[in-house]
């Protein structure tokens, strides 16, 4: 079973310094695909895998 965080990219700018979807080591997936992903990148919803045993989520800045 995994633990996922749903992130609204439009609100990410409110948390600068806490985490950044572009540079995190966690597995980040946009919920839009294709042209929509490219066009709406800044406001699309994203899923972030924060499962404790997920890749690089054993104490990284994002998971803290």
Contacts 24+ apart (CB under 8 A), 25-33: 25/55, 25/56, 25/57, 25/60, 25/62, 26/50, 26/54, 26/55, 26/56, 26/57, 26/60, 26/62, 26/63, 27/54, 27/55
**By three-state DSSP, how is residue 50 classified?**
coil
Rounded Cα distance between 40 and 34, Å, is 10
- pTM for the model: 0.66
pLDDT, one tens digit per residue, over 17-63 is 555 676 677 788 999 999 998 898 888 899 988 887 655 555 455 55
Domain residue spans of the chain: 4-49
């Amino acid at each position: 079973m995994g633990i996922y965080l749903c992130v609204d990219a439009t609100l990410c700018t409110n948390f600068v310094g806490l985490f950044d979807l572009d540079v995190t080591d966690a597995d980040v997936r946009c919920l839009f695909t294709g042209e929509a992903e490219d066009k709406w990148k800044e406001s699309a919803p994203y899923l972030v895998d924060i499962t404790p045993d997920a890749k690089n989520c054993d104490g990284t800045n994002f998971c803290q």
